Chain A
Amino acid sequence: MKVFLTAIILAFTGGALFVNLGSIPDSFLLSHTASRFYREAVVTETGALNTVSAILYDFRAFDSLGESTVIFATVSGIVLLLSRKTLPVSSAGLSLIVKRTFGILTPFVFLLSVYIILHGHLSPGGGFQGGVLLAVITIIFCIIYGSSFDLSRYPPQRKTLIETTGALLFLGVGIIGIALTGSFLGNPSAWRGVPGTLPSAGSIVPINLGVGLKVGAGLAIIFYSMIQKTLKRQ
C-alpha cells in the first residue's frame, strides 16, 4: 500500500514537473529586460567577453565577496572541529612509476590552473574553477607522495597565509574601486583596455586571482584536515 501510494505521488509530481518544463517558451526568456541588458552591456561596460564571469565579478561582485566569506567560515569551522594537534600521517605513497610520472605532470596541472584563473574573463572558467584545480595539487601530493611530503612542502601555516592574501586582494580591489570610481568594488575605466586581450576587463582579473588563491588554499586546508588522524588521548 505504501509503495503504491509512493508510486502515485512520484508519478504525479513527475508529470507536473514535465508539463511545467514543457510550457516554458524558448524565446521569451532572452528577450526580457535584465538578460537583454546583460547581453548588450557586458562588453561595453566591463570589457570582459565571458558574460558569466562579468556578472559574477563585476555586476554582483559583492555577492561573490559574501560567497568567499562562506568558504572562509567553512574552513574555520572544519579546522576548529578537526583539531590541529595532529600527526602527519604517512609517507607511504603509490608505486615508483606513479611517483615519477607525477613528477612530470604536477607542474602541468599547476600551469593549467593558472591558465584557467587568468583567462577567466575571456574563456570559460574563472577564479572558482581554477582554485579547485589548485586544491587538486594538494590532493595529488597527499595521495601519491604521502601526506608528510605535503606537510614538508606546503605546511598549513603557508596555506593559511595564501588564503588570507587572496581575501585581502579581493578587499583591496574593492577599496581601490572606492578611490577611483566612488563605489565599492567599482570597475575603473582606466584599467579596461581592449576587450579580447589578456590585460583587459578592469578589476575582474585581480578579483579572479584573489578568489582563485582563496578557494584553492581553503579547499586544500579542508582536505588536509580531513585526512589526518587525531592523536590518541593517553
Chain B
Amino acid sequence: MILAAAVFLVILVFFSSWRLLRGPTIPDRLIAADTMGIFLAMVMLLTGVFYNARLMVDVVLVFTVLQFVDMLVFAKYYEHGELFK
C-alpha cells in the first residue's frame, strides 16, 4: 500500500513534468518544479518509512528546508533580474 502510493506519486510527477517543459513563462516552471519537489519529498518519506524509517526521516526534513530556500532564491533572482541590484 505504501509503495503503491509512492508509485502513484511518481506517475503524477511524470505528468507534472509536462508543465515544466511547456510552461510559457518562468514562474510556470517554478510552480511545476515546486510541485514536483514536494511530490518527490513525499515519495522519499514513503520509501524511507517502507525500508528503514529511523534513518531516512532526516533526509526528508533537510530536503524540505532546502527546497523552500531554493524557491526563494529563484524568486529573488527573478524579481530583480539578477541576484542583487
Contacts and interface: CB of A to CB of B under 8 A. Distances in A.
B83 interface: yes
Given A112-B61, A124-B55, A129-B62, A140 B69 contact: yes
A129 B83 CA distance: 25
B83 A227 contact: yes
Contacts, number: 47
How many interface residues does chain A have, given as a range? 20 to 34
A139 B76 CA distance: 12
A35 B83 CA distance: 46
Contact of B69 (A116, A125, A136): A136
A176 interface: no
Interface string B52-85: 0011101101100110010011011001100111
The interface centre, meaning the residue of A125, A143, A144 with most chain B CB atoms within 10 A of its CB, is A143
Interface in A26-62: none
A116 B62 contact: yes
Contacts of A139: 69, 73
A173 B66 CA distance: 32
B77 to A, nearest CB: 9
Interface of B: 54-56, 58-59, 61-62, 65-66, 69, 72-73, 75-76, 79-80, 83-85
Interface of A: 89-90, 92, 94, 98, 109, 112, 116, 123-125, 129, 133, 136, 139-140, 143-144, 146-147, 227, 229
